[in-house]
Structure 1
Amino acid sequence: MRLTRRTAWLPLLLSAAAPARAATTILVLDPELRDTSGEGETPAQQRRLAMIGEQLRKGLAASGRYSPVDPAPQRARLAAGPAPGTCPSCAAEAAAALGAQLALVTVVHKVSNLILGIHIVMLDAASGEARGAWQADIRGNTDESWRHGIAWLLRHRLLAGPEAGH
C-alpha cells in the first residue's frame, strides 16, 4: 500500500484530536517536619513547610496531570493525629473524604541545619496503597534549599514522565 502525504498525516491528526485525559484529583497534605537534630522547630521552618506545600500544589496543578483539592476541610481532623507521615491510612481516608483519587504525604527530616531530607509518598485514596515514593537530600536549612529540593522532586520524580505517579 502506498501512502500519500495526506494519509501519512492522518494518524497524527487523529491523535491530536483525541480527548485529553482528565486531571487526577490529589490531596497534597500539609508537609510535616521530623526533627531529630535536637535543635527544635522554628517559625522559619514552619513557614518553609507551608511554602513547599504550596509549591507542590502549584507545580502539580501546572502540569495539567493533577488537580489539587483544598486540604482545609480535613486539617482539624488530621491535626488530631496521628500524623499522616506515620499513618498512611489516615492520609488516604482524608483524601477519599474530599473526593480525591490520590494523597501526597511530604515529610522533611531534619538531621541538622546542614543535612535535611524531603520524603514524598503518593497514596491511592481508595486502597491506601503507595503509588510511588521519592526522596531528595538537601544541604542547608534555607528557603532556597527547600524550594530547590521540591523543584527537583517535581521535575525529576513526580512529573518525570507520563507514567510518573500513575
Structure 2
Amino acid sequence: MAIVSIWEEEMSNVRGVNRQFRSRSFVYGRFFAFLVSAGAIASAAFAETGGRPALATTNFDFRDTSGEVRDQTAEHEARLEAFNVTLRNGLSENPKFDLVALTCQTDQCTAKDPGLDVLSARAKTAGARFFLFGEIHKMSTLVGWVKFAVLDLNENKPVCDRFMTYRGDTDEAWQHAAKFTVRDIEKHCFP
C-alpha cells in the first residue's frame, strides 16, 4: 500500500516525459531498495531458525493389482527398498532443505504401518517442517504409478500432491521412476 501511494504521489507531481522517466526511476529505485532490505531481513530471520527447513520422509508403500500369477514378492521388496534408498539419496543432495530420518523400530515406517498420524508426530518431534509419504502401485507388467504428497506440518496442509506413471516392472524402470520422483519433488514441491 505504501509503495502504491509513493508511486501515485511521485507521478502526480511530474510534468513532461523526461521528468516522468526520472521520477519512475527514482520510485523503482526506492522500491528495489525496499525489496533488498526486506530480503536481508528475511534472510537473517531464516538463518536464526537454523537455515534450511527440514523434510522427513517415510518409506513408500507398495500395492500390486496386476493379477500376475507368478509370485514376485521378493523382487518387488528389493525394488521398493532400492527405490526408497534412491529417493532419499537424491533428496539429501538438495540445498533447499535438510533431510530428517524418522525412527521406526518394528514397523515398516510407511503411511500404512504405523500410519500417517504416528509418522507425522515423529516427524514433528524430529524437527521436520515438511513430511513426504507415498505409494508405488503396480497396475500391470507395463504400467506402474507413483503417488506421493508433501505436507507442511506447521500449517497442517499439503504443499503438493502428485501422481505419475512409469513403464515396466524391472530394476531399471523402478530406478528411473525413483530419480524422476526426486526431480518432480524438487520442481513442484520445493521450487
Normalising by the residue count of structure 1, what TM-score does the alignment of the two structures yield? Answer: 0.72
Q: Are 1:119 and 1:136, in contact at CA under 8 Å, matched by a contact in 2?
A: yes
Q: Are 1:115 and 1:138, in contact at CA under 8 Å, matched by a contact in 2?
A: yes
Structure 1 pair 41–102 and aligned structure 2 pair: CA distance change class (3 A) = farther
Q: State percent identity of aligned pairs.
A: 22
Equivalent residues in 2 for 1:1-166, closer than 5 Å: 22-39=51-68, 42-71=73-102, 73-76=103-106, 78-79=107-108, 84=111, 87-155=115-183, 157-160=184-187, 164-165=189-190
Structure 1 pair 41–126 and aligned structure 2 pair: CA distance change class (3 A) = farther
**CA positional deviation for 1:128:** 4.0
2:55 and 2:161 mapped to 1: Cα distance?
15
More helix by share: 2
Instruction: Give CA deviations for 1:138-157 in whole Å, capped at 9, x if unaligned.
Output: 111111111112222322x2
Letter in 2 for 1:121: A
Number of residues of Structure 1 aligned to a counterpart in Structure 2: 152
Deviates more, 1:87-96 or 1:103-112: 87-96
- The residue aligned with 2:14 is none
Unaligned runs of 5+ in 2: 1-21, 23-32
How large is the Cα RMSD of the aligned pairs? 3.2
Unaligned runs of 5+ in 1: 2-10
Structure 1 pair 41–103 and aligned structure 2 pair: CA distance change class (3 A) = farther
Letter in 2 for 1:133: D
Report the structure number with the largest CA radius of gyration: 2
Normalising by the residue count of structure 2, what TM-score does the alignment of the two structures yield? Answer: 0.64
Deviates more, 1:38-47 or 1:18-27: 18-27
1:128 and 1:52 mapped to 2: Cα distance?
27
2:143 and 2:76 mapped to 1: Cα distance?
14
**CA positional deviation for 1:120:** 1.2
Q: Are 2:87 and 2:181, in contact at CA under 8 Å, matched by a contact in 1?
A: no
Report the secondary structure of 2:136's partner residue. Answer: strand
Deviates more, 1:91-100 or 1:22-31: 91-100
**CA positional deviation for 1:124:** 2.1
Report the secondary structure of 1:63's partner residue. Answer: coil
Report the secondary structure of 2:128's partner residue. Answer: coil
